[in-house]
Amino acid sequence: MLLIIMDGVGIGRQDDTNAVYLADTPNLDRLFASKLYTTLTAHGTAVGLPTDGDMGNSEVGHNALGAGRVFDQGARLVNRALESGGIFETGEWAAIVRRAKAGGSLHFIGLLSDGNVHSHIKHLYRLIDACAAAALPRVRVHALLDGRDVGERSAPDYIDPLENRLKNISGQKGLDYAIASGGGRMKVTMDRYEADWLIVKRGWDAHVLGKARPFPSAAEAVRAFYDEDPAITDQYMDPFVVVDDNAHPLGPVVDGDAVVFFNFRGDRAIEISRAFTEKAFDAFDRGPLPDVYFAGMMEYDGDTHLPPHFLVQPPAIDRTVSQYLCAEGVRSFAVSETQKFGHVTYFWNGNRSGHIDETLETYVEIPSDRIEFDKAPRMKARLISEKAVQLLKSGAYRFGRLNLANGDMVGHTGNMAAAVTAMETVDRCAGDLIEAVAELDGIAVVTADHGNLDEMVTIGKDGTRSVKTAHTLNPVPFAISDQGYRGEYAMAHVKSPGLSNVAATLLNLLGYDKVADYDPSLIQFNGSRHTTS
């Protein structure tokens, strides 16, 4: 059996805002017209987020797919810790306060938006307000601009209120709060899966060394970038530093300081955390490592316990479907390109690094291109498909999973033409994979982790249209292609089916009962030989 995860492919309106609808997708059209098809909720409370207005993302989506049930996720956990005040009663927060009161600066680094995928600006506000209430004398913010999970040129909506808030606090006696540096998330600090350490180095140079293009304020930096390049989007802005009247950087990280990385999602937080905490570090030249107390909003890697200090406990995801398959001696593989490799391994396995059983599992990473994804929208889908077919035909594996990243990565660029090409590439590759599985008398399961390509344009109440780069709230497809299907099972009547129902379904299709506390299977067998409970 092969699980095909089409990253960022949802089911949206059938109109010209939807790249999935506009694309020529004969293979998926046939599959979605079959009896073994349904749609799944992939956002909000169905994947452990605070409200049903919260868009899903690849991290929580793969957690739910692999875990078989829903766990409270980053945003919800942080909300709870802030609302209860528990976040400020930890030893980590006490250590941060001691540093700040002993003469050090407290630095907050993270994604500045309300996208609620990696971070939320309200979390930053609560942290800053707590600093002011405790009369911590000097706070600096290093603002990573989004333009991906929110509007592509929405940086002023976050920079301007933050600068005003910091200015008002600085009016209080003895307090000095300001933005010190920043840059776009796809060029500064927030690399993942070691795809491009230069991104992290740019952030290090700006945040720690104070080396980047200087501006009197973050707002002026954003305006300058907009004026110089009308086509630029926030996520691709170069790094900048804010300087004082003497052209000195306003807030580089130095000995004695404390640093909080306020993103709650782990994948794009791990590399910068390593740069701050690892003594034996060779990804780039950091210069002298400053003596700082570094804490993440959460623990970003539960196996390596990175970073060593963090403010909110992450969800404890246990007994994933791969743990059960390994316990049964089932050999499996996982394949994707770099951008989503961690999702079919680390996140699928419940935020666990490495193999569950390396004697039974094969993980294959295909290096991603290091260019903007709309420049090469086919990405590595063909190579991923070819490798999966090779592994399937080897006869060594009963189960495989792969992620085709095109829908998400190209969807985030906002380029409709590239998005259509990306979707057509996914369709062709899915078709080839389904055919290869059929030749082996196997079963292919096709789904997605969240939407993106399905809503590339936002239409305002007045009819105005704007490019949409964020994920969507739309459902995602789920379909089974079973060459040997003779009606022995059918889609079950599951109340509010979501991504967490997939794990039990996979177990059933492989011939196993569902785990007792997993969410119900999406299929119901007609005979007594199999059960879904």
Point out the residues that are catalytic. 58
Kindly state the tokens that stand for 517. Answer: 């506390």
Q: Is 168 exposed, middle or buried (0-12, 13-18, 19+ CB in 10 A)?
A: exposed
132 CB neighbour count, 10 Å cutoff: 17
Confirm if 1 and 398 have CB atoms less than 8 A apart: yes
| Strand, coil or helix: 362 | strand
Q: How far apart are CA 82 and CA 486, in angstroms?
A: 53
From the list 126, 48, 4, the residue with the least C-alpha distance to 350 is 48
Under 8 Å CB-to-CB from 419, ≥6 apart: which residues? Answer: 19, 374, 377, 407, 410, 411, 413, 453, 456
Helix crossing, 381-393 with 416-439: angle to 10°? Answer: 10
Q: Tell me how far apart the alpha carbons of residues 28 and 37 are, in angstroms, rounded to a whole number.
A: 11
Between CA 388 and CA 234 the distance in angstroms is: 36
Residue 297 in contact with residue 312, Cβ under 8 Å?
Answer: yes
- Residue 424 CB coordination number (10 Å): 19
Q: What is the DSSP letter of 243?
A: B
Q: Are 77 and 511 in contact (CB under 8 A)?
A: no
CB 183 within 8 A of CB 215: no
Question: How far is it, in rounded angstroms, from Cα 317 to Cα 95?
Answer: 28
Rg over alpha carbons for the chain, rounded to the nearest Å, is: 23
* Cα gap 328→309, rounded to integer Å: 36
Six token digits for residue 108: 């907050």
For residue 11, give the nearest of 313, 31, 385 by alpha carbon: 31
Distance CA 3, CA 401 (A): 5
Tokens 């999602």: give the residue. Answer: 265
Q: Is the peptide bond before 307 cis (omega within 30 degrees of 0)?
A: yes
The answer to whether the CB of 482 falls within 8 A of the CB of 42 is: no
